[in-house]
Structure 1
């Protein structure tokens, strides 16, 4: 039972770590300008699914955001086209910060489950030794 808890929480740790990685990448590239001839940075969204045996969660894939992005008029930008436009990713910073908090909290909760299960296992071993 305790090993099941550790295994299930371990799958949660993996998913939340991937989610944290994706959100961090999105935040780092939110202001990445490109020429209008190029695609915008495409945000990453982690897709999770329950395991087939209902014992955990797994990364089902990564969905990518829109390559169209948003066009901004910045005639002084070195990447500006003849009309003075550059392309930025269509990333909502508020949404990403909310996702960052959720992913961080999920990671912390799963790490706490692993710690508590490990402590319970060690306590059971101590009881078994008669101490």
Structure 2
């Protein structure tokens, strides 16, 4: 079970050429579930899987909720620190014209899984 969760929390890093420089720069794209999420679910109006409560982030820099399902850093934060780059922002916090797409994004979402049924317990469904 732990191996499956770690597989879902894949961290993909690579080199891409920066637009304004000829030297490549290191970027990180993160895919996963609550183990690596940094706040995407806080932008979902009908999700019950939210991490904006005060205890999420008390040990993180600033001591406030950060959108992480932990009281501190995620593995994505730790890897980014080791690589010497900033932890990528949540995908849903960006506008379509944001340059952050070139420097890495976190796509992780708490309750995500490989089956369609995985996150059904965390979504409020409306019948109209």
Pick the structure with more helix per residue.
Answer: 1
Considering Cα pairs closer than 8 Å and 6+ residues apart, tell me whether 1 or 2 has the greater RCO.
1
Same fold, TM-score > 0.5, yes or no: no
**TM bin (shorter chain):** under 0.3
Pick the structure with more strand per residue.
Answer: 1
What TM-score results when the alignment is normalised by the length of structure 2? 0.26
Higher CA-based Rg: 1
